[in-house]
Copies of this chain bind each other. A is one copy, B any other.
Amino acid sequence: MPIIESIPNVSEGRRADVIAALADAVRRTPGARLLDHSADASHNRSVFTLAGDAAGVEAAILALVEVAAGAIDLRQHQGAHPRLGAVDVVPFVPIEGVTMADCVELAKRVGAAIASRFAIPVYLYEEASARAHRKNLEDIRRGEFEGLAARMASDGWTPDYGPSTPHPSAGATVVGARMPLIAYNINLATDRVDVAKRIAAAVRHSSGGLRFVKAMGLLLDDRQVAQVSMNLTNYEKTPVFRVFEMVKREAERYGVSILESEIVGLVPAAALTRSAEFYLQIEQFSDDQVLENRLRKEMA
């Protein structure tokens, strides 16, 4: 059975009854499973993690949008996190037995459905977007809900689906497809946060580093350890081992060694397998050689 993950971000992090209703909308959908949800009151935002096949995930997202559009009014919404809409962003992530192309197709289908059923304008982003200035979520969200009407009227900002003005209370929704994110931190054997900041600047894409790395340097106060804190946004094209080796080499320049690294949350098996292959110099390896994969396939 193919598995697609979706991580909708909704602009409600305070009203427990609304958050519960949103979670229930996913739980009640056959073919989808709610894996996790968390609400942040200061961001006034909730993140739901769900998975299922294409039909299940599509139905769950539409059920979620219906609840959100009925309960959330962006005109009354305040929170620390930037947002454009009641359901702010909906990424689809290929996990097992599906391609990125499948997720792009799903994003377009769900985007069109959100627009036609709820009259909410939809922007496609990341892999689902064909337009360079509308790939990056931060670029699309600039100006937020409050600036959305003016933005939508300006050149190049006609939405991909739906009306060319914001939904009065629900704003706009950004829908797309992307690779799984890996939250990856490398702790340095130093308390020099300037070293962590310089290394972050060297490895991250925005300042000239690796294409699929976001990074910042910070100090872990409790341990007095400097950390390079990263998001790896495409582990197939910018693999974990390459990031690690670059951080290690940059740190050497300052006489600093790696204390340890950590993966926060989940990591796709393949990201670890590719790293083992690199360091062990394994040639001609196939994921079908992983015992559990083979057994699962044979016993399905």
Task: Give A contacts to B, CB under 8 Å.
Answer: 3, 5, 33, 35, 51-52, 95-96, 180, 240-241, 244, 258-263, 265-269, 272-273, 275-285, 289-295, 298-299
Contacts and interface: CB of A to CB of B under 8 A. Distances in A.
Copies in the complex: 2
A272 B290 contact: yes
Given A298-B33, A299-B33, A299-B51, A269 B291 contact: yes
Contacts of A278: 279
A284 B263 CA distance: 9
B261 A281 contact: yes
B291 A241 contact: no
A252 to B, nearest CB: 14
A269 B96 CA distance: 16
Given A266-B291, A292-B96, A272 B261 contact: no
26 contacts: A3-B299, A5-B295, A33-B299, A95-B291, A95-B292, A96-B292, A180-B291, A240-B276, A244-B279, A244-B280, A244-B281, A258-B281, A260-B282, A261-B282, A263-B282, A266-B289, A266-B290, A266-B294, A267-B290, A268-B291, A268-B292, A269-B269, A269-B273, A272-B272, A275-B280, A276-B276
Contacts of A258: 281
A267 B280 contact: no
Nearest to A272: B276
Contacts of A295: 3, 5, 35, 51, 95-96
A269 B289 CA distance: 9
Contacts of A275: 275-276, 279-280
B279 A262 contact: no
A33 B273 CA distance: 27
Contacts of A259: 281
A282 B268 contact: no
Contacts of A260: 281-283
A212 B266 CA distance: 31
Contact of A272 (B51, B180, B273): B273
A254 to B, nearest CB: 18
A1 to B, nearest CB: 9
Nearest to A274: B276
A289 B265 contact: yes
A50 B261 CA distance: 39
A263 B277 CA distance: 10
